[in-house]
């Protein structure tokens, strides 16, 4: 009888001691170096201020030092050199290969042959007047004398864009720039006019009266691809020719354009 009364109490005491022993073992594991407790085969990592947690990006990459690079690409000048049609900084070869054809051979390679309307070569001195950058786009326009009369000559203009040379037109026809004159009529043209900086070409034409007074018409144009587009229309006079505003290339100070000079 006494034995049966002691067994339940003994069992309770043994269970309490076993639970305490397990708790001490768990506390011992938690205090182990690294702070990792083992539960079966799974490990739990305790994050510290110096240790990034799993899945978080805490690595700091030093700021890269940028080293300035020096470009080897040549800078295109604001105004192309006289004779430099393709804009590579070197003059190109321009010839009339037959009446009505301008041939351009580019120093950097390649060429263009452009047809134009010309007068009778028996009477007309068809030749290249020169090439200069009329619109300051880094490519020289080409000017060719195409026709002449008793006192007036005309020139055609060619413009380089989209990788090729093109004949310039005005109102759908080959543009004709007149120059020369007599006591009864004068004509001239120039590029890069200071009076209208947006213009590439200015033309001047006008008759005189019996008293020697001239009335001049000045037309200013810009390029749109291979066309001349009117910008400004002005008149001057009447008055003596030397009292009226003449057309001049802003860079050369002469009529014509750069090396493309107009004969007196």
In a domain, residue 60? The reply is: no
**Of the listed ranges 33-37, 95-99, 184-188, 217-221, the one predicted with least confidence:** 33-37
Residue 83 counted as domain residue: no
Q: E strands along the chain, which residues?
A: 38-39, 42-43, 93-98, 101-105, 111-115, 127-132, 141-148, 152-161, 164-167, 169-170, 173-174, 177-181, 185-191, 201-207, 214-224, 227-239, 256-257, 260-261
Read off the pTM: 0.70
Rounded Cα distance between 46 and 53, Å, is: 8
Question: Is 155 part of any domain?
Answer: yes
Query: Would residue 14 count as lying in a domain?
Result: no
Amino acid 65: pLDDT: 47
Domains identified in the chain, total number: 1
Q: What percent of the chain has pLDDT over 70?
A: 70
Whether 25 is covered by a domain: the verdict is no
The domain of 128 spans 93-261
**Residue, of 183 and 229, whose pLDDT is higher:** 229
Q: pLDDT by residue (tens digit) across 86-145?
A: 999 999 999 999 889 999 999 999 999 999 999 998 889 999 999 999 999 999 999 999
Report the chain's mean pLDDT, rounded to a whole number: 79
Is there a domain that residue 50 lies in? no
Asked if residue 206 is part of any domain, the answer here is yes
Residue 15 located in a structural domain = no
Higher pLDDT, 78 or 151: 151
pLDDT tens column, 210-262: 788 999 999 999 999 999 999 999 999 999 988 998 899 999 999 999 999 99
């Amino acid at each position: 009888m006494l034995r049966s009364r002691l067994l339940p109490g003994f069992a309770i005491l043994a269970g309490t001691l076993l639970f305490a022993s397990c708790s001490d073992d768990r506390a011992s594991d938690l205090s182990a170096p690294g702070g990792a407790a083992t539960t079966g085969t799974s490990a739990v990592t305790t994050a510290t201020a110096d240790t990034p947690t799993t899945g978080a990006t805490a690595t700091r990459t030093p700021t890269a030092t940028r080293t300035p690079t020096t470009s080897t690409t040549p800078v295109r000048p604001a105004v192309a050199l006289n004779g430099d049609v393709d804009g590579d900084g070197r003059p190109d070869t321009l010839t009339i290969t037959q009446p009505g054809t301008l041939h351009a051979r580019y120093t950097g390679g390649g060429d263009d042959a452009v047809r134009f309307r010309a007068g009778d070569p028996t009477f007309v001195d068809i030749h290249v007047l020169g090439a200069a950058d009329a619109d300051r786009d880094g490519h020289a326009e080409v000017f060719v004398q195409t026709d002449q009369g008793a006192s007036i000559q005309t020139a055609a203009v060619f413009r380089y864009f989209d990788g090729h040379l093109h004949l310039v037109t005005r109102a759908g026809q080959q543009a004709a720039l007149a120059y020369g004159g007599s006591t009864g009529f004068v004509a001239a043209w120039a590029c890069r006019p200071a009076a209208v900086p947006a213009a590439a070409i200015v033309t001047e034409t006008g008759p005189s009266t019996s008293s020697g007074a001239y009335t001049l018409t000045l037309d200013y144009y810009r390029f749109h691809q291979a066309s001349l587009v009117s910008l400004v229309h002005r008149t001057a006079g009447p008055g003596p020719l030397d009292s009226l505003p003449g057309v001049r290339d802003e860079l050369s100070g002469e009529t014509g354009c750069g090396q493309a000079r107009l004969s007196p």
